[in-house]
Amino acid sequence: METIYLNKGNLAAYQDLASSNVMALGCFDGLHRGHVKVIQSGLQEAKERNVPLSVMSFFPHPKTVTSGKACFHYLMPQSEKEKRLCELGVDTIYLVEFDKDFAGLSPQAFVKEYLIKLGVIHAVAGFDFSYGSRGAGNMKTLKQDSRDMIDITTVDKVEYKGEKISSTRIRQQLLDGNVEELPYLIGHSYELNCVCAGLVLTPYSNYTLPAPGRYEVTLKNKWNSLQTEVVVNEKSVMITSKNQVPSWLEGNLTIVWDRRMRTEKDQTGEIFYEYSTNESSA
């Protein structure tokens, strides 16, 4: 799989190199169940046409430019997104530099310069995907904006408990500490990579930590795993298990967030922890 970092300075060169492809469009932060459905639909269309599958994503997140938000809670770094997209069968990722100039493109200019001239013959995206200045373009206008040069597949809303699965919803669940809900939205427990030094776990950038509190987690590397408890502060995670820490628990690790623990008090007023009673059902 190839990743192409696309900007207005190198766009023309990559247009010259482009060949026919099916393209999936979206930010794909967190690669939740809705995103996976878009990628799988794109892969099916690509196989039917015997052309490669490409993905177009955007960085920084459009909301940081259009709303002026300097701080944004990403669900995964680009490197992890690339790894997952490769596993899903993507051949090429176009990562577009999202700046004010790009945000100001008309819908027609976006379709011409970033789809047609990049060889897109079929575009796949979720029902709520928008493009162009102020999001004026959408999946209902894309075929017209391409002058019928691009066929489209619009992927319907994927829901859980009657609500759309979205990256925004996942971020909010994390910020509320509801990690038990996430397997039903992402398809698996939320994971983040970190560096372990002693009992302190320092997350890599572009992940979102759950709300401060106490959690049951699984720590793992390529060869080992350990179920333990941690306490989350604003920027770090501390292992609190009273058991002896194994020697392999150093360096690069993955934290799998299993469930949050709630605080209770016994008859003496001493605080203790129990597992959260926030049970979910698919």
Are 213 and 145 within one domain? no
Domain count, the chain: 2
Q: Kindly state whether residue 74 falls inside one of the protein's structural domains.
A: yes
Q: Kindly state whether residue 95 falls inside one of the protein's structural domains.
A: yes
Q: Kindly state whether residue 172 falls inside one of the protein's structural domains.
A: no
Are 226 and 124 within one domain? no
Per-residue confidence (pLDDT) for residue 245, from 0 to 100: 81
Cα-Cα-Cα-Cα dihedral sign, residues 76, 78, 83, 84: positive
- Strand ranges (E), 118-235: 120-126, 130-131, 137-138, 151-155, 159-160, 163-164, 191-197, 200-203, 213-220, 225-232
Both structure tokens of 10: 């190198």
> Any residues with CB less than 8 A from the CB of 83 and at least 6 apart, and which?
none
Q: Is the pTM of this model over 0.85?
A: yes
Are 99 and 65 within one domain? yes
Per-residue confidence (pLDDT) for residue 279, from 0 to 100: 41
Q: Kindly state whether residue 174 falls inside one of the protein's structural domains.
A: no
Express each pLDDT in 98-111 by its tens digit: 999 999 999 999 99
Are 38 and 146 within one domain? yes
Express each pLDDT in 141-187 by its tens digit: 999 999 999 999 999 999 999 999 999 999 999 999 999 999 999 99
pLDDT in tens, the chain (282 residues): 999 999 999 999 999 999 999 999 999 999 999 999 999 999 999 999 999 999 999 998 888 887 766 678 899 999 999 999 999 999 999 999 999 999 999 999 999 999 999 999 999 999 999 999 988 999 999 999 999 999 999 999 999 999 999 999 999 999 999 999 999 999 999 999 999 998 999 999 999 999 999 999 999 999 999 999 999 987 789 998 766 788 899 999 999 999 999 765 445 444 444 554 444 433
Both structure tokens of 150: 């691009």
Q: Kindly state whether residue 178 falls inside one of the protein's structural domains.
A: no
- Strand ranges (E), the chain: 2-6, 21-25, 53-59, 92-97, 120-126, 130-131, 137-138, 151-155, 159-160, 163-164, 191-197, 200-203, 213-220, 225-232, 237-239, 251-265, 271-275
| Domain end residue (candidates: 139, 157, 175) | 157
Q: Kindly state whether residue 177 falls inside one of the protein's structural domains.
A: no
Q: Kindly state whether residue 173 falls inside one of the protein's structural domains.
A: no
Are 30 and 115 within one domain? yes
Are 17 and 67 within one domain? yes
Q: Which residue range is the domain that position 100 belongs to?
A: 2-157
